[in-house]
């Protein structure tokens, strides 16, 4: 499904929810770059230009060219959001405590994102720092990886019984079905490739 068709279908859905009587007045044509404080007005409520700028910036950051088509799609998206938000408010969802909590979490997320972005900008990491951290990480993890399998049991007696069966020639893959680890029991106990430092010390000591 192409973008234009997807946007058209979503807009139709939003319009049907809001009712066919919902109308909006665009302050600028879709192909024009808005210059005023208001980008579009929906049922008498002005949508600020900076909100459109934010969506446009997000799309261009992902490689989509700034174009009349993009700005038209952004306008439709903002109108759609506002229509639905107005309908939600009419039903009192903005007064719902759970919705308010979610809105507050979203607000905090945006603030935290802005803070972290600013911190990275004002505390640039040098190539030497990256190299130093890489070397430290390499030292901690070690230079070798192992392909590990295990059978997790609750007691030492169970472990000894399984070892005895292995020594008698029973297949590890079959015995692994007794494992308490649901993530690996159906894969013959396979944990994949990893460095010893990835596991708790007794386990990594046993590996090496």
CA distance 89 to 83: 10
In a domain, 123, yes or no: no
Domain that holds residue 155: 142-207
For the chain, give the longest Cα–Cα distance. 82
| pLDDT higher than threshold 70 for residue 156 | yes
What pLDDT does 193 receive? 85
Residues 164, 89, single domain; the answer is no
Residues 147, 84, single domain; the answer is no
Residues 7, 101, single domain; the answer is yes
Model confidence pLDDT, tens digit, residues 37-81: 899 999 999 999 999 999 999 999 999 999 999 999 999 999 999
In a domain, 11, yes or no: yes
Mean pLDDT for 162-188 is 89
pTM of the complete model: 0.49
User: How many domains, the chain?
Assistant: 2
Specify the pairing of strand 38-42 against strand 24-26: antiparallel
Residues 20, 97, single domain; the answer is yes
From the number of C-beta atoms within 10 Å of its C-beta (0-12, 13-18, 19+), residue 157 rates as exposed
Q: Of the candidates 49, 50, 71, 51, which has an alpha carbon nearest to the alpha carbon of residue 60?
A: 71
pLDDT band for position 143 (cuts 50, 70, 90): confident
Q: Which segment of 17-21, 134-138, 157-161, 193-197 scores lowest on mean pLDDT? A: 17-21
Residues 22, 89, single domain; the answer is yes
In a domain, 116, yes or no: no
Residues 83, 36, single domain; the answer is yes
What is the percent of the chain with per-residue pLDDT over 70, rounded to a whole number?
A: 81
- CATH number, domain with residue 150: 3.10.50.40
In a domain, 30, yes or no: yes
In a domain, 15, yes or no: yes
């Amino acid at each position: 499904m192409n973008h234009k068709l997807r946007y058209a279908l979503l807009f139709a859905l939003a319009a049907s929810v809001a009712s066919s009587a919902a109308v909006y007045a665009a302050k600028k044509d879709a192909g024009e770059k808005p210059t005023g404080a208001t980008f579009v007005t929906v049922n008498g409520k002005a949508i600020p230009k900076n909100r459109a700028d934010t969506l446009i910036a997000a799309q261009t950051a992902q490689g989509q060219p700034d174009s009349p088509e993009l700005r038209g799609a952004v306008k439709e998206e903002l109108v759609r959001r506002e229509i639905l938000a107005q309908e939600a408010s009419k039903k009192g969802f903005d007064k719902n405590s759970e919705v308010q909590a979610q809105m507050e979490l979203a607000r905090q997320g945006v603030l935290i994102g802005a803070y972290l972005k600013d911190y990275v900008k004002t505390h640039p990491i040098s190539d030497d720092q990256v190299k130093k951290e890489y070397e430290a990480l390499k030292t901690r993890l070690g230079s070798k990886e192992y392909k590990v399998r295990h059978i997790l049991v609750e007691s030492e007696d169970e472990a000894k019984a399984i070892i005895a069966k292995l020594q008698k020639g029973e297949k590890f893959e079959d015995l692994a079905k007794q494992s308490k680890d649901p993530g690996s029991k159906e894969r013959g106990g396979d944990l994949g490739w990893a460095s010893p430092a990835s596991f708790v010390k007794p386990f990594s000591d046993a590996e090496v």
